[in-house]
Chain A
Amino acid sequence: MSSALLYACAGMGLLLVGTWALVLRAHLLRKVLAINVMGSGAFLLLVGAGAMGSGPVDPVPQAMVITGIVVSISATALALALVLRIAYATGKPALPEDRERDLMDAGGR
């Protein structure tokens, strides 16, 4: 098992964990974090898969990932600014349909 395959599998795991949290968690900060975990997973998967072939590492996935990292940083910043506005305006950092939910998951789920 090559280390590139290990990286790609770890990236896949992060992608799945992030998707799970993005759909099921109500707190918007958790959703933003989940998107970031998903993004890191996608980058790791892409770089790992690009390094799996024999010979020198393919530079195209690396260039795509570095572009993606910068885009994900700026998307996170915009999302955080929006979360702040939602929290100021409604008093609760959640989407309208999640307003009734227990944001902190105090039930121990």
Chain B
Amino acid sequence: MNGSERPRGEPGLLLRAGLALLLAVVATGLTLALLAGPASPGLTDAVAESLAGSGASNPVTAVLLNFRGYDTLLEMAVLTSTLVGVWALGPAPRIRETDPSPVLLGMNSVLIPLAPLICAYLLWIGASGPGGAFQAGAVLAAAGVLFIISGRRPAVPLPTAPMSWGIVVGLGVFVAVSLAVMPGGRQLLEYPRDLAGILMLLIETAATVSIALILAGLFIGGRPEDEP
């Protein structure tokens, strides 16, 4: 920490002191705000009042897909554009070909068939309990990552479709639904009451597929070779 021995380019004492002072001010402010208690009653009651007409009985899902649908729509846009950004950086680095360990293969043979089941359960239960598209997509993506690192190919030839379609389907369905509800004097993302549940399930299903593909694609770290 001796100033005269510090190599060039290292942050000086002034920067450290300034940063420490700034962080101390932030910490003091946040602590005072936390100790003062909640400044407003929050939105719990407002959510509970409108929950009946939202199409979901889980308040978090209702907020995500209905009351704050904009956030989730833009979040899908962020996810999609992130993968576009990673693909734009270049082709995927080749994963070193090694023999996968038998433990991984054994675990894969148990976990990968279970993953779609868990995914479907999480997707369905999201309407009434903890769960939803993001959790379901993450589970499916985890199965994809396990499959990628095992280096194996599927024994049965799977029907192939461009990965890019699956990546944009979540955002596409979300935008299509949010626009399709507009005739009849409704605003963007204002679902009809009796259709809200089924529309949210439709959006979430498409989003799950996209989220799983995007997260697995981000793990690959570049554009796959067979993608344009």
Residues of A at the B interface (CB closer than 8 Å) are 5, 8-9, 12, 16, 19-20, 23-24, 26, 45, 49-50, 52-53, 55-60, 62-64, 66-67, 69-71, 73-75, 77-78, 80-82, 84-85, 97-102, 109
Minimum CB–CB distance for B172 against chain A, Å: 18
Closest A residue to B93 by beta carbon equals A84
Say yes or no: A101-B10 contact (C-beta < 8 A), given A60-B68, A67-B64, A85-B89: yes
Closest B residue to A68 by beta carbon equals B75
CA of A78 to CA of B71 in the docked complex: distance in angstroms?
20
Count residues of chain B with CB under 8 A from any CB of chain A.
52
Minimum CB–CB distance for A16 against chain B, Å: 5
Q: Which residues of A contact B71 (CB under 8 A)?
A: 63-64, 67
Q: Which residues of A contact B218 (CB under 8 A)?
A: 73-74, 77-78
Beyond A81-B221, A99-B9, 10 additional pairs, beta carbon < 8 A: A23-B15, A49-B34, A53-B38, A58-B44, A62-B60, A63-B68, A67-B75, A70-B211, A74-B78, A78-B86
Q: Which residues of A contact B7 (CB under 8 A)?
A: 100-102
Residues of B at the A interface (CB closer than 8 Å) are 1, 7-11, 15-16, 19-20, 23, 26-27, 30-31, 34-35, 37-38, 41-44, 47-48, 59-60, 62-64, 68, 71-72, 75, 78-79, 82-83, 85-86, 89-90, 93, 132, 134, 211, 214-215, 218-219, 221-222
Minimum CB–CB distance for A70 against chain B, Å: 5
Say yes or no: A66-B134 contact (C-beta < 8 A), given A80-B221, A100-B9: yes
User: Is A81 a contact of B75 with CB atoms below 8 Å?
Assistant: no
User: Is B85 a contact of A84 with CB atoms below 8 Å?
Assistant: no
User: Is B85 a contact of A78 with CB atoms below 8 Å?
Assistant: yes
